């Protein structure tokens, strides 16, 4: 059977915002929202907007709906148990909560390893622990290969290392880090392994068991949903961890979900899992009976293949110019990068480029993207940071060609 290609008209019909003629290429900042997500959000608010846990019928139904979505999200990331899914307002907050609870069990002199290519959301929660004597070490990106070298990690790990925490994909360069391989090294050393999956989850299916991660965090508003975030944690770790909710709350995940999950947003995320299944069934109508997780995998495979083509085209164009330097993987190889592409120009500043593109109604962006340490290490502060173009699966080749024509005019 030949592999189908992604039906762009079909997927784009699920995103009403895409009908307005604007070209969204700042998706690493935030993606457009699925109509099924918006529909579930309003379904919940219009019918079930009551407090959970009461004995009356609507309260029961409301709780069932949110629990259903939590189970769907558990299936999506291949968690073993829905209780392993913790919901919160943002990835920044989830990582802060993680640092607050884990560090309750740590002593001065204990060590955390993170990288210099993190979004600050996965950096300051750990460096702030230096005040209580925790030692934070930085695993630095090799500036020649622009990758993290596992031997460098091995040299940093000691018997005091409690946690290694890294980003799965760089939100600036798009480079994917080999988390399954890193997980083995970390666990052999007896440490915990936490991953910031924010820049990866819009592009690839998350599989927490295959990668053997202890914690995994991503933001729903970058995965076609609303402004909330999800943290997976292994059940036994969540059970052992100190809670940060009221003293009488000890159930997982509620004990690390202060103020509770946002009900309507959590419920709305089941619109994402519905969508992933519908994309599958549209492309493989003869296979509609397979397990949901197999469907998600095949759908994300279609996304990855399409995004690889878009990335190859833009990077090939940029590489062909002698005044532009692409920073990171020099092609669209889906095993090495996501479709987040950073570059700088020899003479023009990055703000100058982006502001010249703005009138063409194409949204791209420049800056440090809160990943200040890597932008500084790359020496790009003077340029205003790199220019970042970030595609997701709903972008079309026509849109990429339109961006290239605009670059031809403005560069
Ligand atoms: C890699 C990465 N981690 C964390 C965050 C922070 O996510 P949130 O906005 O949900 O706090 C971002 C946001 O851009 C990000 O790109």
Residue 278 lies in a domain: no
Residue 61 CA to ligand 1 centre (angstroms): 32
Closest protein CA for atom 7 of ligand 1: 91
**Same-domain check for residues 144 and 266:** yes
| Residue 91 Cβ < 6 Å to ligand 1 | yes
Residue 141 lies in a domain: yes
Residue 267 pLDDT greater than 70, yes or no: yes
**Same-domain check for residues 46 and 26:** no
Span 35-59, mean pLDDT? 98
| Nearest ligand 1 atom to alpha carbon 29 | 14
For residue 135, the domain's CATH number is 3.40.640.10
**Same-domain check for residues 12 and 49:** no
| Nearest ligand 1 atom to alpha carbon 89 | 10
**Same-domain check for residues 296 and 243:** no
Residue of 98, 370, 375 best suited for mutating to test ligand 1, as the one with most atoms within 8 Å of CB: 370
Residue 274 pLDDT greater than 90, yes or no: yes
Last residue of a domain, one of 272, 301, 324: 272
**Same-domain check for residues 185 and 320:** no
Residue 284 lies in a domain: no
Span 39-62, mean pLDDT? 97
Residue 198 CA to ligand 1 centre (angstroms): 6
| Residue 27 Cβ < 6 Å to ligand 1 | no
| Nearest ligand 1 atom to alpha carbon 93 | 11
Q: pLDDT at position 178, please?
A: 98
**Same-domain check for residues 129 and 24:** no
Span 75-93, mean pLDDT? 98
Burial 106-130 (b: 16+ CB within 10 A, else e): beeebbbbbbbbbbbbbbebbeebe
Q: pLDDT at position 304, please?
A: 98
For residue 352, the domain's CATH number is 3.90.1150.10
Residue 331 lies in a domain: yes
Q: How confident is the model at residue 288 (pLDDT cuts 50, 70, 90)?
A: confident
| Residue 23 Cβ < 6 Å to ligand 1 | no
| Residue 198 Cβ < 6 Å to ligand 1 | yes
Q: pLDDT at position 3, please?
A: 83
What count of other Cβ atoms lies within 10 Å of the Cβ of residue 7? 14
Residue 205 pLDDT greater than 80, yes or no: yes
**Same-domain check for residues 256 and 339:** no
Residue 2 pLDDT greater than 80, yes or no: no
Residue 173 CA to ligand 1 centre (angstroms): 14
Residue of 116, 219, 225 best suited for mutating to test ligand 1, as the one with most atoms within 8 Å of CB: 219
**Same-domain check for residues 96 and 20:** no
**H or E element at residue 272:** helix 270-283
**Same-domain check for residues 49 and 28:** no
Q: pLDDT at position 332, please?
A: 98
Last residue of a domain, one of 238, 272, 306: 272
Q: Which residue has the tokens 């509770």?
A: 260
Q: pLDDT at position 252, please?
A: 97
Residue 121 pLDDT greater than 90, yes or no: yes
Residue 2 lies in a domain: no
CA distances from 278 to 4, 40, 77, 283, 303 (A): 15, 16, 18, 9, 14
**Same-domain check for residues 348 and 405:** yes
Residue 221 CA to ligand 1 centre (angstroms): 10
Q: Is 131 exposed, middle or buried (0-12, 13-18, 19+ CB in 10 A)?
A: exposed
Q: Indicate the number of domains in the chain.
A: 2
Residue 27 CA to ligand 1 centre (angstroms): 12
| Nearest ligand 1 atom to alpha carbon 170 | 1
pLDDT tens profile 129-140: 999 999 999 999
| Residue 79 Cβ < 6 Å to ligand 1 | no
Residue 4 CA to ligand 1 centre (angstroms): 32
Residue of 89, 122, 199 best suited for mutating to test ligand 1, as the one with most atoms within 8 Å of CB: 199
Order of strands across the sheet that contains 111-115: 85-88, 229-233, 215-219, 192-196, 161-167, 111-115, 135-139
Residue 277 lies in a domain: no
Residue 151 pLDDT greater than 90, yes or no: yes
3-state secondary structure of 148: coil
Span 174-203, mean pLDDT? 98
| Residue 195 Cβ < 6 Å to ligand 1 | no
| Residue 90 Cβ < 6 Å to ligand 1 | yes
Last residue of a domain, one of 244, 272, 300: 272
**Same-domain check for residues 86 and 178:** yes
Residue 202 CA to ligand 1 centre (angstroms): 12
Residue 1 pLDDT greater than 70, yes or no: no
| Residue 121 Cβ < 6 Å to ligand 1 | yes
Q: pLDDT at position 85, please?
A: 98
Q: pLDDT at position 289, please?
A: 87
Residue 53 lies in a domain: yes
Segments forming the whole domain that contains residue 130: 38-272
Taking the C-alpha atoms of residue 380 and residue 371, their distance in angstroms, rounded to an integer, is: 12
Residue 5 pLDDT greater than 80, yes or no: yes
- Closest CA relative to residue 50, chosen from 267, 229, 258: 267
**Same-domain check for residues 175 and 50:** yes
Residue 279 lies in a domain: no
Q: pLDDT at position 159, please?
A: 98
| Residue 219 Cβ < 6 Å to ligand 1 | yes
Task: Kindly state the percentage of the chain with pLDDT values over 90.
Answer: 99
| Residue 257 Cβ < 6 Å to ligand 1 | no
| C-beta separation of 75 from 293 below 8 A | yes
Q: pLDDT at position 179, please?
A: 98
């Amino acid at each position: 059977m030949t592999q189908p290609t992604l039906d762009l008209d079909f997927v784009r019909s699920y995103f009403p915002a895409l009908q307005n003629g604007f070209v969204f290429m700042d998706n690493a900042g935030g993606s457009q929202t699925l109509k099924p997500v918006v529909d579930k959000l309003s379904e919940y608010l219009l019918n079930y907007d009551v407090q959970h846990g009461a004995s009356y019928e609507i309260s029961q139904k409301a709780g069932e709906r949110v629990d259903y979505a939590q189970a769907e999200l558990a299936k999506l990331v291949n968690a073993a148990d829905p209780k392993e899914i913790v919901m919160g307002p943002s990835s920044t907050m989830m990582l802060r909560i993680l640092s607050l609870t884990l560090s309750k069990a740590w002593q001065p002199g204990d060590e955390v390893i993170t990288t210099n290519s993190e979004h600050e959301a996965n950096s300051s929660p750990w460096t702030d622990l230096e005040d209580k004597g925790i030692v934070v070490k930085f695993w630095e990106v090799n500036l020649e290969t622009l990758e993290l070298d596992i031997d460098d990690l091995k040299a940093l790990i000691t018997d005091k290392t409690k946690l290694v925490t890294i980003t799965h994909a760089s939100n600036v360069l798009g480079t994917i880090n080999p988390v399954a391989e890193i997980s083995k090294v970390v666990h052999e050393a007896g440490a915990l392994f936490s991953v910031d999956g924010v820049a990866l989850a819009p592009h690839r299916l998350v599989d927490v068991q295959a990668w053997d991660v202890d914690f995994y965090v991503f933001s729903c508003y970058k995965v076609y949903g609303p402004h909330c975030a999800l943290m997976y944690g292994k059940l036994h770790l969540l059970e052992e961890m100190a809670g940060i909710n009221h003293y009488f709350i000890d159930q997982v995940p509620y004990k690390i979900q202060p103020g509770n999950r946002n009900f309507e947003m959590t419920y709305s995320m089941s619109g994402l899992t519905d969508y992933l299944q519908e994309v599958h069934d549209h492309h493989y109508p003869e296979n509609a009976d397979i397990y949901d997780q197999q469907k998600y995998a095949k759908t994300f495979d279609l996304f990855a293949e399409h995004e690889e083509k878009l990335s190859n085209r833009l990077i090939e164009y940029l590489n062909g110019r002698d005044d532009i330097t692409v920073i990171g993987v020099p092609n669209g190889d889906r095993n090495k990068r996501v479709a987040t592409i950073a570059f700088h120009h020899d003479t023009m500043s990055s703000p100058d480029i982006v502001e010249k593109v703005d009138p063409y109604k194409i949204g791209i962006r420049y800056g440090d993207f809160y990943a200040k340490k890597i932008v500084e290490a790359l020496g790009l502060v003077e340029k205003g940071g790199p220019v970042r173009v970030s595609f997701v699966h709903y972008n079309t080749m026509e849109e990429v060609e339109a961006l290239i024509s605009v670059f031809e005019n403005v560069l």
